[in-house]
Amino acid sequence: MNLGRFKRRIYTPYYTPIQELKRFSEALGGPKVFAKRDDLLGLSGGGNKTRKLEFLVADALDKGADTLVTCGAVQSNHCRLTLAAAVKEGLKCRLVLEERIPGSYDPNASGNNFLFRMLGVEAITVVPGGSDMMAEMKKIAREVESLGRQAYIVPGGGSNEIGSLGYVQCAQELQQQMFDYGMDFDYIVVPSGSGGTHAGFLVGVYGNNMNIPVLGVSVSRSTDVQIEKLYPLIKSVATHVGCPIPPMEKVIVYDEYVGEGYGRPTDGMKEAVQLLAQTEAILLDTVYTGKQMAGLIDLVRKGFFKPTDKVLFLHTGGAPSLYHYSKSVLPD
C-alpha cells in the first residue's frame, strides 16, 4: 500500500521493538507470547495515539491551524499525546474532558492529568459523562476562532480515516520487521476502544495479505455495539487508502473482559498488570492494555491457542495513568 502520498509528521524516528515475553509465556504455560512495544512510541509517555497524530497533525498544519482541540476521559492518554504533539509543533491545545465516572475529575490528580498541566495546556473544559463531545469541541473551536485563531478538531481517540492511517502503517511496519527477523505470528491481539487502532490495523493486515487473525479486545462496549462502530470506520479507512474492505468475518471483538464498564477495574486486569510487571518488567495500564492482556491470558487458559502458536500482543501504552490508578491495581 502506498502510504507515502499522505502528509505525515514524524514523532517516532524508529520502528518499535518486538520482544519475546519468555518469562511471561512460561508463567502462563501456553503459546509463545511476543509484544510489539508501541508503548515506546515518541512524544511524552508514548502510546498508540502518537501514530495517529503523525497524520492528524500533518493535516492540521496543512489546513493552517494554530490550535488543536480534542477530547477524552479525565485521564486520557489521547489528550496527553495530542497536547504533546501541539507543544512539539508550536501549536496551542485545548482539551474537553468527559467525566464518565461522576466526580472522577480532580484538577490536582496525578498521571495524565498532571501531564496536562506540565505540558502547558491552554484550557481544560470538563463536561458530564454522556455529553455530545463533538458539539462541545465545536464550541471550543468557535471560541478559539473568535480570538482570530484557527482551530483543528482532533476527534476522540484520533479515530477517523486520517488518524487510523497510523495503524495501517503499523501493520506495514510489522510486516517488514517479520521479514527482517524471519518471524511469523499466528494471532495478533489488539485493544478496541474508539476503534482507530483496531480498524487501521485490520485494514493494514488485510490489505497487505498478511493472513494473520486480528483479535480485538473491547475495553468498553459489547461485541455487537463495538462492531457497529468499527465497521463503518474500517470501510472509510480502506477507501481512504484505496485497498479492499476487509469482510465482516475478519472483525473479531471479545467483550467479556470489560467488567462493569470503561475504566472500571476487573480481577483479570489486576492479575494481568501484575503478572507482566513481575515477569517482564513491562508496565500495562488499567483501562486498556490491562483488560486486553486479561483477554489474552483467558484465551490461553481456555486452550484457544496451540502450545506452538506465536501470539503478538500489541502494547498500545497507557502506563502514565497507572500512577493515578495505583489503588485499582495494587491493594494498600
Distance CA 155, CA 71 (A): 7
Closest CB 318 distance from ligand PLP, rounded Å? 3
Phi, psi of 32 (to 5 degrees): -80, 120
Residue 196 lies near ligand PLP (rule: CB under 6 A): yes
Site track 8-37 with ligand PLP (rule: CB under 6 A), x = hit: ------------------------------
92 — alpha (psi -120 to 50), left (phi > 0) or beta? beta
Residue type, 45: G
**Residue 33: strand pairing partners:** 311
Give, for 231, the enclosing helix (H) or strand (E): helix 223-241
Q: Which residues face 190 on adjacent strands? A: 216
How far apart CA 108 and CA 117 sit, in angstroms, is 9
- Which strand ranges, in their side-by-side order, compose the sheet holding 151-153? 123-128, 92-99, 67-73, 151-153
How would you classify the pairing of strands 18-20 and 32-37?
antiparallel
Stretch that binds ligand PLP, among 2-10, 100-108, 253-261, 316-324 (CB under 6 A): 316-324
Contact between 295 and ligand PLP by CB under 6 A: the answer reads no
Tell me the closest approach of the beta carbon of residue 180 to ligand PLP, in angstroms. 26
**Where do runs of H (alpha helix) occur along 247-288?**
267-280
User: x-or-dash pattern for ligand PLP, window 63-82, by CB under 6 A?
Assistant: --------------xx----
Decide: 41 and 48 in contact? Cβ < 8 Å. yes
CB atoms within 10 A of CB 181: 9
CB of 298 to ligand PLP, least distance (A): 18
Query: Candidates 7-15, 130-138, 189-197, 236-244 — which segment interacts with ligand PLP by CB under 6 A?
Result: 189-197
Which range of residues in 7-15, 117-125, 135-143, 186-194 is near ligand PLP by CB under 6 A? 186-194
Measured N-to-C along each axis, helices 289-301 and 267-280 cross at an angle, to the nearest 10 degrees, of 90
Based on the shown chain and the rule CB under 6 A, indicate whether residue 45 belongs to the binding site for ligand PLP: no
Vertex 111: Cα angle to 59 and 141 (nearest 5)? 35
Span 217-246, contacts to ligand PLP by CB under 6 A:
none
| 160 scored as a contact of ligand PLP (CB under 6 A) | no
Please tell me which residue in 25, 44, 76, 321 is annotated as part of the active site. Answer: 76
Instruction: Pick the binder of ligand PLP from 45, 263, 318, 320 (CB under 6 A).
Output: 318
Nearest distance from C-beta of residue 81 to ligand PLP, angstroms:
8
Q: Can you say whether the dihedral through the CA atoms of 85, 89, 90, 94 is positive or negative?
A: negative
Does residue 159 belong to the site contacting ligand PLP (CB under 6 A)?
yes
159 among known catalytic residues? no
Nearer CB in complex with ligand PLP: 3/183 = 3
Which of 46, 157, 263, 295 forms a contact with ligand PLP (CB under 6 A)? Answer: 157
Q: Which stretch binds ligand PLP (CB under 6 A): 25-33, 105-113, 127-135, 193-201?
A: 193-201
Enumerate the active-site residues.
76
Q: Please report, as ranges, the residues that interact with ligand PLP according to CB under 6 A.
A: 47-48, 77-78, 157, 159, 191-198, 285, 288-289, 316-318
